Structure 1
Amino acid sequence: MYRREFIQRAAAGALAFSMPKLPAFLKEVPMGVVVHSYASRWNSKTPSDKYPGFTNAIELIEHCRSIGAGGVQTVVKDWSADFAKKVRDEREKTGLYLEGSIAVPKQAGQVAAFEQEVINAKEAGATVLRTVCSTGRRYETYHSPDEWQTLKKTALTSLQLAEPVLRKHKVRLAVENHKDWRAEELVAILKQLNSEWIGVTLDFGNNIALLEDPMKLVETLAPYTFTTHVKDMGVQEYADGFLLSEVPLGYGILDLPKMVAVCKKHNPAVTFNLEMITRDPLEIPCRKAEYWSTFDGIPKSDMDRTLRMVKQRAYKAGLPRFSQLPAEDRLAAEEKNIVSCLSYSSNRLGLK
């Protein structure tokens, strides 16, 4: 199945299973929030009156409603059927959309548990389920071509095990480019699967770490995209390559209005979810030989182009760091960044 057929079938599914009260085909939906944006506050052990920790999806939904978000994308692991109904009630009360984050089965014996999570997520009103297929960042976790090829085979097997469950329950699964797949590699997996129920969670910034041009990434994956992780990225040179950080929307290097427009062109029902992770910069050691151990065939010109971009567009005043801050200050910085991003989304991206 090629791109045109895929998106026609996927769009039909999106229309059929979008929220009944707020379908994206009829009007804009405010940007949602990915649970990982609250990396410090989710299950926080820091006592705080102003930024109390979120212990479950219901608390996250209520807070995101209060700051003007349109929905949430959150983990659904270990939900009971009763809790799924409570999440559904909260979602219906607030009017927010819900997306799940779920692990795919690695072997046949895990399919039944996966199916129960799909059932619970659907009962709660989840319109799409995001997943990842790797156990970590490609350049940190996999150290040889054989290890990477094993991951690719394992990922394909997992998605093949998941597909009949998704088809049975008419729930869409969206695989994220999670600093693992380069764009064409993910497209190749989708073509092998040939399923209208499996598409992409398009992360706008992750693949800079894999030396891909971010706009080309969006143009390649948008035809397969069900949902997104919207972020802006700051970059800075360091000895072994470059540093990479999520920064508040509008402060980084990404052409967010164009990226949003490309996604809408291919799937008018696509959802836009903020993933603003407030953390120290990540090191992308692309000058070191070990970085390249799984990138056979990728031209050195990709690194040269990326490093030129880093030099030309380095984050002014240096990328911010947060690990040294007191816990309460980290929570405050996290909330400030998220609220700033939602404001940008409404005012500059028209998602309101």
Structure 2
Amino acid sequence: MTNSNPSNPTPPPLDRRKFLKAASFGALAMSFAHLPDFFKQEKMGIVVHSYGVRWQSKTASDKYPAFMDAIDFMKHCHAIGAGGIQVGVRDWKEDFAKKVRDHRERLGLYLEGSIALPKKQGDVASFDHEVKSAREAGASVLRTVSLGPRRYEALHSYHEFQEFQNNALTALQLVEPVLKKYRVRLAVENHKDWRAQELVDILKKVDSEWIGVTLDFGNSLALLEDPLYTANTLAPFVFSTHIKDMAVDQYEKGFLLSEVPLGQGILDLQAIARLCRQHNPKVTFNLEMITRNPLEIPCLTHGYWTTFEGVSGMELAPVLKLVREKKTTLPRIDKLNAEELLAEEEKNVTLSLDFSKNTLIFN
């Protein structure tokens, strides 16, 4: 898709200079239309969700042993040539955080954490502990999500969506002092919950140099947004990314959406990556290649639309046109046994790593 969107034109870079300066990227980020080699990330990182099958797996496998903790995960990612990891930091004790730090430094990897937002004031102490542990291990960026489930599955009216917005804003306001105390940035993902401008509006209300975005390259399609439009809107606030490629197919209630190895899908990965680098030369590219059955996006049903206001058929039509033109047979895991599923997951990750080394701008 292009970033042409009649009802959602590419937005102006609102507050971009102010935001980047506050986030310590400064005017440097705006000075290069084509970034020199020393700004390019040498190796892509890996999100733990890329190993959703193998992470703490109960399957006994000699070839694909389970990753029981962040250190197991880190060692494997280093062995296959990744540059870093993004992994959950919940319940990390001080001694474990120090072990993660030691392994990370020895292997020369970067670390990003994944963390849940507090639901109420009483949860902030736990959040504080997790941020402190992550910082001790060497993480300066933590990815989070505001909702968790998909918007069109978890919410059933625009009123419910407004409540979600208010709760998300409150949570971000609660954690801002913690982030400032430990000098750790929180990156909110567009996780099939926020449309791009909705997320920007929340960030502007929080107005903190410590809170920005994890830009997921493909999630926006599920909410009928052109990925390039989403990238243009969110890149001025980007701290981290989930890089993925997507393939599509039709089904009776809308369309199917599936992660595929990088370079095998429909996304303009190079263009989105370039936008992120342009706005933040320090941004990380973290592979989220989830091996699973296709997701159903029921955009032709009434229930799908109940949480939206001001979204029209003008935005649905281009997506359905894209699906019709680019539809393909999507990968499924139904018939794979446990060992075959582990093998498929590893293949998808390594194919994506190879593509990133040979093709993308952060070689």
Residue-by-residue CA offset, 1:117-168 (whole Å, 9 max, x unaligned): 0000000001200000103100011001111111111100000000000011
What amino acid is the match of 1:342? L
For structure 1, list consecutive stretches of 5 or more residues without a partner in the other structure: 16-23
Q: C-alpha separation between the residues in 1 aligned to 2:25 and 2:158?
A: 38
Give the corresponding residue for 2:44.
Answer: 31
2:195 to 173, 182, 189: 182
Amino acid at match of 1:177: N
CA distance in structure 2 between the partners assigned to 1:29 and 1:150 by the alignment: 42
Which residue does 2:301 correspond to in 1? 288
Which of 77, 90, 93 is the aligned partner of 1:77? 90
Task: Provide the C-alpha distance between the structure 2 equivalents of 1:197 and 1:127, rounded to a whole number of angstroms.
Answer: 10
Distance 2:242 2:15 in 1: 24
- Which ranges in structure 2 are unaligned for 5 or more consecutive residues? 1-13, 29-36
**Residue 339 of structure 2 aligns to which amino acid in structure 1?**
E
Deviations 1:304-335 (A, max 9, x none): 110000001112xx001013210100000000
Residue 347 of structure 2 is matched in structure 1 by 336
TM-score, reference length from structure 1 = 0.95
Decide whether the 8 Å contact of 2:51 with 2:290 is kept in 1: yes
Q: Is the aligned partner of 1:349 residue 2:353?
A: no
Provide the residue aligned with 2:267 in structure 1.
254
Cα shift at 1:27 = 4.9
Amino acid in structure 2 at the alignment position of 1:133: S
Written as runs of structure 1 = structure 2, the 5 A alignment for 1:17-56 is 27-56=40-69
Residue 9 (structure 1) shift: 1.6
> Aligned partners of 1:146, 1:257: CA distance in 2, in Å?
38
**Which amino acid is the alignment partner of residue 300 of structure 1?**
G
Structure 1 window deviating more from structure 2 (26-35 vs 122-131): it is: 26-35
* Equivalent residue number for residue 319 of structure 1: 330
Structure 1 segment 188-267 matched on structure 2, within 5 A: 188-267=201-280
Q: Is the 8 A contact 1:25 1:269 kept in 2?
A: no
State the 4+ residue runs in structure 1 displaced beyond 3 angstroms: 24-27
8 A Cα contact 1:11 1:267, kept in partner: no
Q: Given that residues 25 and 281 in structure 2 are in contact (C-alpha distance below 8 angstroms), is that contact kept between their aligned partners in structure 1?
A: no
Q: Are 1:141 and 2:158 counterparts?
A: no
Amino acid at match of 1:104: L
Calculate the aligned-residue CA RMSD, in Å: 1.4
Quote the offset at 1:25 in angstroms: 5.9
User: Structure 1 residue 56: deviation in Å?
Assistant: 0.3
Mapped contact 1:11–1:269 kept (Cα < 8 A): no
1:289-316 deviation digits (Å, cap 9, x = unpaired): 110000121011111110000001112x
Please report the TM-score for the alignment, with normalisation by the length of structure 2.
Answer: 0.92
The count of corresponding residues between Structure 1 and Structure 2 is 341
Q: Is the 8 A contact 1:25 1:268 kept in 2?
A: no
Distance in 1 (alpha carbons) for counterparts of 2:294 and 2:134: 33
The percent of aligned pairs where both chains have the same amino acid is 59
- Matches of 1:321 and 1:45 in 2, distance apart? 21
Give per-residue Cα distances to partners, 1:22-59, cap 9 Å, x unaligned.
xx965523000000000100010000000001010000
State the secondary structure of the residue aligned to 2:242: strand
The Cα of 1:8 is off from its aligned counterpart by 1.8
Match of 1:150 among 136, 160, 163: 163
